Amino acid sequence: MDARRQGDENPNSSVVAETMKLLANSSYGYQIMDRSRHTVTKYLNDEKTHSAINSKMFKRLNHITDQLHEVELVKTEIEHREPIIVGFFILQYAKQRMLELYYNFFKKFCDTDKYEELEMDTDSLYLALSEENLEDVIVPEKRAEWSQLRSKDCNDNFTANATDNFFPRTCCNVHKKHDKREPGLFKEEFRCAEMLCLCSKTYCCYDKQTNKYKFSSKGLNKRTLEDCGDGPMSKYRKVLAEAVNVTSTNRGFRTIQHSVATYEQTKKGLSYFYPKRIVEEDGIHTKPLNL
């Protein structure tokens, strides 16, 4: 966190700050890697393909040419070397923090008629507001209490807790800057006039005034959507309106036995199907599953 704060203060340290961010995010993702899903892919001729199909490790076969086949095999030996329990609890604590925010802030301080939840991820929440700012959504009789909570802890030993501290403090400019990188506090990430959410980790935000986009398309190369003529939002609108998945082709490089090769992979990109809640007939609002 200190490296990120130094990057905010000094533009010359921004490279170090971004590197620290990348290290933190990648180390977390590595801890929850599921090695049991890893496979071995081989490109074999007819004779060797028949032998591979009869192996108990065989999983999938793709026809390339008359003389070449792509064979996917399960690994004969799997070694779990990651502390999966660490990544598991990181996810669980993140879910707990989102519940604390919802019940101890939104339910306690905010007018439920002035906001609506759109999308939630591990550590972020996107809202539609009927007011200009989130502070304006707070009910009048609770505003004094909320202002006191955000300004009372003007000290250097401040930490986020489960009941009071959800946003950066307003006591002074020094602590405002400090809390911008404080773990457990929520900060405004993006503001827009239109947002379209298809499913988990698949959404697009568009601000007409600045003509800026913020979007997520898990499993897709973002350049594929950025390079389309009328912007990425049109692709998301098409999926929502026509209820048809959009396919995309990912292109890149990979190393194979100490050599570099290019690849093309066509896969389902923007998915219409949303399994976590029941989508109502208008295609916009949702309700909980009947579980």
pLDDT per residue over 102-137, tens digit each?
999 999 999 999 999 988 888 889 999 999 999 999
Instruction: Look over the chain and give the mean of its residue pLDDT values, rounded to a whole number.
Output: 85
Residues 145 and 142: their CA atoms lie apart, in Å, by: 5
Is residue 226 domain-resident?
yes
Number of domains in the chain: 3
Q: What is the pLDDT of residue 1?
A: 65
Is residue 106 domain-resident?
yes
Is residue 206 domain-resident?
yes
Q: Which two tokens stand for residue 99?
A: 């519940």
Each residue's pLDDT tens digit, 54-113: 999 999 998 888 888 989 999 989 888 888 888 889 889 999 999 999 999 999 999 999
Is residue 45 domain-resident?
yes
**Alpha carbon of 222 to those of 55, 165, 216, 272: distances in Å?**
38, 35, 8, 18
Is residue 1 domain-resident?
no
Is residue 14 domain-resident?
no
Residues 221 and 241 in one domain: yes
Q: Domain boundary at 125, 154, 189, which?
A: 189
pTM value is 0.77
Residues 20 and 189: their CA atoms lie apart, in Å, by: 19
Domain range enclosing 278: 193-291
DSSP H/E element including 70: strand 69-74
Each residue's pLDDT tens digit, 9-25: 777 777 777 887 787 77
Residues 197 and 289 in one domain: yes
